Amino acid sequence: MIHALVAAAVLSQSYARSRANENDPASQCLWWKENTRIVYRVNQAGNTETPGDTEFDAIKRAFSTWQTELAACSSLSFVEGPRSPSREATYSPDDSPVNQNLVLFREKACKQQVAAGDACWSDGSCGNKYDCWQFSEGAIAITTTSFSPRNAEVFDSDIELNTPSYIFTTVDAPPCVRGAEAVTCVATDVQNTMTHEIGHLLGLAHINDAASTMNPRAVTGELTKRTLDPGSKKFVCDVYPKGQASKLCFIPSVSLEQGRAAKVGCEAASGLPLLALAALVLRRRR
């Protein structure tokens, strides 16, 4: 008797969109206006421990991966701007220098250098005030998105990477042994991490599908998220179709909601690194 094991190659076509209130599935989805040229800028310091300029190249490849999909079927596009001197992952509705889509490696942990009683802990401003990683130690990176409280249109999205906790690498092989991470093997791959975070920047939320770029977990040596899964590609075409308006989840009502500052996200689970929390910062448009 022969038992044939057939591995059914079922390609996932699913994705989930980020919401204005992550705890409210009925809240509006985040969206960029159609035809937006999203200019991203990488902080000029890069990451000290990554050899040469390889981290800049890895970040560029991650944006290029998405840009290929955007160009094929969507109205959005990514444009690389000049390297930025800014260390501020934030957004101001005024036309100020902090208003850039910034990619930034935080080299120090706020916990090590900011007093517990500092007021910055309560309003989440420690990171920018002291140039440090203010989020959970277990998170590899955080994408902070600023959007309109009225209709959830995104104005700005910044990506911070957690250098104090993770060795960011750019080589393709071999995978590092856990506990012996170094820049000469694949520990926490910059391109793998950035491809996932750019998904957040575009409005994708996590899904519990191991084959998805938007799976929230990454193990030492992982490279699989460098490649977009079919669901994440479909998101780009569905939500930002070429020649059409961007797709919201519902038509906003006329009454203006009060914009309350909200920082929401997901929890890191037992010991496993959480690849990222899309920390959504609600800002009022003046």
175 vs 216, beta carbon nearer Zn ion: 216
Shortest distance, position 272 Cβ to Zn ion, whole Å:
13
190 binds Zn ion (CB under 5 A): no
59 vs 275, beta carbon nearer Zn ion: 275
Q: Residues 133-172 vs Zn ion: string with x where CB under 5 A?
A: ----------------------------------------
CA–CA separation, 105 and 285 (whole Å) = 28
Shortest distance, position 4 Cβ to Zn ion, whole Å:
38
Shortest distance, position 265 Cβ to Zn ion, whole Å:
9
Residues 216-275 that bind Zn ion (CB under 5 A): 275
**Beta-strand relationship, 37-42 and 101-106:** parallel
CB 189 within 8 A of CB 133: no
> Can you say whether residue 82 is alpha, beta or left, with left for phi > 0 and alpha for psi between -120 and 50 degrees?
beta
DSSP string of 159-176?
A: EEEETTT--EE---SPBP
* 157 bridge partner residues: 145
Helix-then-strand count for the chain, H and E:
6, 11
Amino acid in the structure at residue 48: T
Shortest distance, position 199 Cβ to Zn ion, whole Å:
7
198 vs 276, beta carbon nearer Zn ion: 276
Residues 5-44 that bind Zn ion (CB under 5 A): none
CA–CA separation, 114 and 128 (whole Å) = 12
42 vs 218, beta carbon nearer Zn ion: 218
Residues 78-97 that bind Zn ion (CB under 5 A): none
Shortest distance, position 238 Cβ to Zn ion, whole Å:
20
CA–CA separation, 171 and 182 (whole Å) = 10
Q: How many residues bind Zn ion (CB under 5 A)?
A: 2
181 vs 197, beta carbon nearer Zn ion: 197
Using CB atoms within 10 Å of the CB of residue 61, give its burial: 0 to 12 exposed, 13 to 18 middle, 19+ buried: middle
Piece of 16-24, 28-36, 57-65, 276-284 that binds Zn ion (CB under 5 A): 276-284
Instruction: For residue 27, give the nearest of 125, 152, 128, 187 by alpha carbon.
Output: 152
- State both tokens at 59: 């970040």
42 vs 279, beta carbon nearer Zn ion: 279
16 vs 275, beta carbon nearer Zn ion: 275
Shortest distance, position 276 Cβ to Zn ion, whole Å:
3
Shortest distance, position 191 Cβ to Zn ion, whole Å:
15
Residue nearest to Zn ion (CB): 276
DSSP string of 193-233?
A: HHHHHHHHHHTEE--S-TTSTT-SB--TT--GGGSPPHHHH
130 vs 138, beta carbon nearer Zn ion: 138
276 binds Zn ion (CB under 5 A): yes
Distances (CA, A) of 158 to 10, 33, 72, 258, 280: 34, 17, 25, 24, 10
Shortest distance, position 209 Cβ to Zn ion, whole Å:
13
Binding site for Zn ion (CB under 5 A): 275-276
